[in-house]
Amino acid sequence: MVLEEAPVLFMALEELVVQFPELAEPIANLTGILKILGGLFGVYLILWVIAFVFNIRKGILLKRIIKRLEVLEGKIDGLSRKRK
């Protein structure tokens, strides 16, 4: 939704510049800042998705390790009972 509305915003700002030429420089600065902020948000979003995937993967690996430890604990308990 936001990505679809961004070109409309820039077109509205261009129309504003046509109507008020003295605002051309401040609006150009504003659009530059908006593009930089959008790029930073995009990078943040990409890094967040990557971190999310790694956290899910880490959680799955930890569950596997816990299951293996439980199995080993059961085997150790069985062996320790046999020795007594």
SS3 percent helix, strand, coil of the chain, rounded to 5, is 95, 0, 5
Mean pLDDT for 35-51 is 95
Name the band, by pLDDT with cuts 50, 70 and 90, for residue 45: very high
pLDDT digits (tens, 9 = 90+) for 53-71: 999 999 999 999 999 999 9
Question: Is the CB of residue 31 less than 8 Å from the CB of residue 13?
Answer: yes
Domain chopping of the chain, boundaries: 2-83
Burial 44-74 (b: 16+ CB within 10 A, else e): eeeeeeeeeeeeeeeeeeeeeeeeeeeeeee
Alpha carbons 61 and 57: distance in angstroms, whole number: 6
